[in-house]
Structure 1
Amino acid sequence: MASSSIRLLSYTFLLTSVTASAHAQSSEELAKKLSNPIASLISVPFQFNYDHGYGPEDGDKTTLNIQPVIPISINEDWNLISRTILPVTWQDDIAGPSGEQFGLGDTLQSFFLSPAKPTESGIIWGVGPVFLLPTGTNDLLGSGKWGAGPTGVALKQDGPWTVGILANHVWSFAGESDRVDVSSTYLQPFISYTTPDAWTFALNTESTYDWESDDWSVPINFTVSKLVTVDKQPISLQAGVRYWASAPENGPEGLGFRVSITFLFPK
């Protein structure tokens, strides 16, 4: 009887260990997918950013970026990934004594056509169009222009590491004639490390070059993320800091902050 009890306890311990290991592996896999901008995973991030030092009044800006990512399977070989960025912004005195503004900024909509599997060398890539939609509710929140251009991403995931770059270029082609034209290049090189217990440490820049004003904006971001499960819902929690290495004359300065929460909907 004692022998049977010991055997039962051993089996129970083994089963519990295997189940916990499988759960950890699943969490690690989901965390790594979040490091891939074109992963076959529905996710809905809500990203809060705070920056300051705008203009002569040292204005402040707080932005909530709503960024749903929706992959669509075209066939067994190809996926189409939709990435949307809809900013909701509160800002104060960013253009001298310009007062407060609150509302929507311009929407950036990207589509990536991507192979369902990495290349033989392990490269994951996607290319497609990007569109600028003039959804800004105030002249100081949006460009007033319709825009379009190419976008692309390439990355490699090797063990816990993810290294890659995302880029696009947007030209304006229509919109309010009295507003400045848009011609901007966006470059986002990134590197991240994901631990077996689903912590992710990431470093990137989100650099923009404005060809109309010949200005660089170069924030360098360091973030820490943790994948958790709340009532069977996978959620990624992130916090980080950014340093503005370069910005236009009236742009942000010094340190900024970022926190985000991302809801994941794995298949």
Structure 2
Amino acid sequence: MKNILLLTVSLLFTVISFSQSDEEKAQANNPLASITAFNMQQYYSPNLSGDSEATSSTYWLRFATPTGRVLWRASVPVGTYSSDKTGLDESGLGDVDLFAAYLAVSKPKFTFGIGPSVSAPTATSDYLGTGKWTAGAAAVVFAAVSAQFQTGALAIWRTDFAGSSNRKDVDFFAFQPFAFIQAGKGVYFRTAPTWNFNLNNGNYNVPLGIGVGKVLKINKTVLNFFIEPQYSVLHKGPNQPLLQFYSALNMQF
């Protein structure tokens, strides 16, 4: 699979210009936009806690589509974990998850969704998944404060209810605050780190990041490219990304 990080860097500031409305620019970063979308996202970390010679990379293929007031989002991760120190080199499918967000409020300037979130133990390696069925809830809020500034957050909690008895229990919480500042001509600055907390063993990772993106429109498809370096300011436990690059190509149809 072609590296999204390199794709994003090469296409981010394309010289081809297409017009987009202010609303399209704002909604391009709305995770609850009531629009069919397909996203290709990558988290790449060249530095993990506990093993300076370990690296990880996860591609997320996400498809979202609305049915009435429910927005369905399926996410398929494909990951790689390698360490020269231990000799490990694992690549394959991770745990697939599904989120069904009921759009309690769905307006151009404010969106709020809440609903169940589940994941299946589809990982092809123990290093790429939990080995457990998990279920919980997620909530997302998105506010277009103005044409130049949008903000919001996502919160998700899940715990295991079935799966391999030989694998560790799952009880985690993730929180992702995000903000976008439009700079003009489809270019914007962004921050959207995900803070992960393992409630079972007390491990956590709290990164901060600042990135840049560009929104453009080709025919009826809105394309959103971005790259966001993130640095962990607080962490506990092994295999936590100390530095990672979050990049993506998001498409809304």
Instruction: Using structure 2 for the length normalisation, give the TM-score.
Output: 0.84
How far 1:90 sits from its partner (Å)? 1.5
Give me the whole-angstrom Cα distance separating, in 1, the residues matched to 2:110 and 2:214. Answer: 25
Alpha-carbon distance between aligned partners in 1 of 2:65 and 2:188, rounded to the nearest angstrom? 22
Correspondence 1:111 to 2:100 = yes
Structure 1 Cα separation of the partners of residues 121 and 56 of structure 2: 19
Query: Cα offset for 1:56?
Result: 2.9
Q: Are 1:64 and 2:59 an aligned pair?
A: yes
Shift of 1:232: 5.6
C-alpha separation between the residues in 1 aligned to 2:240 and 2:127? 15
Task: Tell me how far apart the structure 2 counterparts of residues 114 and 149 of structure 1 sit (CA, whole Å).
Answer: 17
Moved more, 186-195 or 132-141: 186-195
* 8 Å contact kept, 2:191–2:210: yes
User: Which of 240-249 and 97-106 deviates more?
Assistant: 240-249
Corresponding residue for 2:25? 31
Question: Are 1:246 and 2:241 counterparts?
Answer: no
1:152-191, Cα deviation, whole Å (9 max, x unpaired)? 1123212121121110110100000010010001111111
Partner of residue 149 from structure 2, selected from 161, 164, 167: 161
2-side partners of 1:65 and 1:87: how far apart?
4
Deviation at 1:57, TM superposition (A): 4.9
Distance 1:243 1:92 in 2: 20
1:88 is matched with 78
Partner of 1:112, secondary structure, is: strand
Specify the SS of the correspondent of 2:126: coil
Shift of 1:196: 4.2
- State the alpha-carbon separation in 2 of the partners of residues 223 and 84 from structure 1: 25
Q: 1:221 to 1:41 in 2, by over 3 A?
A: farther
Cα displacement string for residues 10-63 of structure 1 (whole angstroms, at most 9, x for unaligned residues): xxxxxxxxxxxxx6343x322211221111122111112210333335300111
Unaligned runs of at least 5 residues, structure 2: 1-17
Report the secondary structure of 1:205's partner residue. Answer: coil
Letter of the structure 1 residue corresponding to residue 231 of structure 2: Y
Identity, in percent, stands at 24
Partner of 2:4: none
1:212 alignment partner, SS class: coil
Task: Give the match's secondary structure for 1:186.
Answer: strand
Amino acid at match of 1:88: V
5 Å-filtered alignment, 1:100-179, equals 100-115=89-104, 117-118=106-107, 123-159=110-146, 160-179=148-167
Structure 1 gaps of 5+ residues are: 1-22, 74-78
- Check conservation: 1:166, 1:189, Cα contact below 8 A: yes
CA contact (8 A) 2:44 2:244 kept: yes
Tell me if 1:97 matches 2:91: no
Tell me which residue corresponds to 1:192: 180
| Matched residue, 1:217 | 205
Q: Match for 1:30: what amino acid?
A: E
Larger radius of gyration: 1
> Aligned AA for 1:24?
S
Secondary structure of 1:117's aligned partner: strand
CA 253–232 in structure 1, closer or farther in 2 if over 3 Å, else same: closer
Aligned residues: 234
Deviates more, 1:231-240 or 1:153-162: 231-240
Q: Distance in 1 between matches of 2:61 and 2:167?
A: 26
